[in-house]
Amino acid sequence: MPKIITEPQLDFNNVLIRPKRSTLKSRSDITITCDIDFNKNTDVVYETRKWHGVPIISANMDTTGTFEVYKVLSKHKIITAMNKFYKPSDFVDFEINGNTLDPNLFMISTGISDENYAQLRIILQVVKCNWICIDIANGYIQQFVHFCRKVRDLYPDKIIVAGNVATREMVEELIINGGVDIVKIGIGPGSACTTRMKTGVGVPQLSAIMECSDAAHGVGGRIVADGGITCPGDMSKAFGAGSDFVMVGGQFAGHDENPGEIVVENNKKYKLFYGMSSKHAMEKHYGKMNNYRSSEGRLLKILYKGPLNNTVEDFLGGVRSTCTYIGAKQIKDMPKCTTFMVVSQQLNKTFI
């Protein structure tokens, strides 16, 4: 018999953060970098598992997980999850052309097929990287957990991110049995994702973050909130809800550094952005979309935004400002300083 959860499940637009008295004087007083030691659950201490940076990740999508995006984000100590379609030669060519890759500030992404596993091993033989992102749309299958464990056993010195899931039990499973350090949270919240419409499956992102962060922290792991960020305030809400990292897709798309030509329609400039489970992505990378599946992503036109650096600084400024409103001296203090209020409206849209 079907079960019903009657307790309200909330998304970012259902809440606001309640302001609190603060002794902070300026946004410049806020520390947005974090120091995280991922050696907590390991018998051997690896220097490669000690990380310093800003806990924001550019999503491993075609348009945001690229070398050009990395060049901008690395200057801010933000991580870029490279898309899984980069070949070993792409990394070699990038460095041969005079570029450097900071092993702390990018991730190698992979699926879970035998071919993906083989390519992951080759890439990590030719490029120094401390992060692995194991990424599939449905992180609830047992094969996914087995793959994560296989990668963990082969690379005990790496920081492993894996997902996506949105509930407590799979977070615990991936950390305890899969050996994952950070679980990627989000089923259907992304702007280019249609999973909820096509399957009826999903969990509102704010509630998912709160449940999954509690589960992860209870077993010595961490989470990254993946999807649903529409503005700097949403990023602050994700951190306030307990997320250790926040992954951004659409908000980091549409810039000069994102691939693709500018499209002009009705005197407005756009760039393309699409979900990695969309028909467009399937046909681009695999030549077709198999008839046993449906497209769970959209092809979108995003208003052209200019330099990516402007958007990054806007988001970082927003998070700093949130911290001054709630008395959080650093990002990692935000959960203990955050009280959410359920609201019927969060923005006056009279002139929008």
Lookup: tokens for 278: 């969309």
**What CATH class is the domain 31-262+307-342?**
alpha beta
Tell me the catalytic residues: 193, 195
d(Cα 160, Cα 43) in Å, to the nearest integer? 16
State the pLDDT at residue 291: 53
Q: Domain-by-domain residue ranges, the chain?
A: 31-262+307-342
Per-residue pLDDT in tens (0 to 9) along the chain, 352 residues: 889 999 999 999 999 999 999 888 888 899 999 999 999 877 899 999 999 999 999 999 989 999 999 999 999 999 999 999 999 999 999 999 999 999 999 999 999 999 999 999 999 999 999 999 999 999 999 999 999 999 999 999 999 999 999 999 999 999 999 999 999 999 989 877 888 888 899 999 999 999 999 999 999 999 999 999 999 999 999 999 999 999 999 999 999 999 988 889 999 999 887 655 544 444 554 554 445 444 455 677 889 999 999 999 999 999 999 999 999 999 999 999 999 999 998 888 888 7
State the pLDDT at residue 297: 57
State the pLDDT at residue 333: 97
Q: Write out the H or E segment, with its range, that includes residue 235.
A: helix 232-240
State the pLDDT at residue 284: 54
Of 223, 211, 155, give the one whose Cα is nearest residue 185.
223
State the pLDDT at residue 329: 96
d(Cα 206, Cα 323) in Å, to the nearest integer? 18
- The DSSP bridge partners found for residue 245 are 224
State the pLDDT at residue 289: 44
Quote the longest CA-to-CA distance of the chain.
61
Residue 124's contacts (CB-CB under 8 Å, 6 or more residues apart) are 108, 132, 155
Of 156, 162, 161, 83, give the one whose Cα is nearest residue 123.
83
Residue 29's contacts (CB-CB under 8 Å, 6 or more residues apart) are 324, 329
State the pLDDT at residue 26: 85
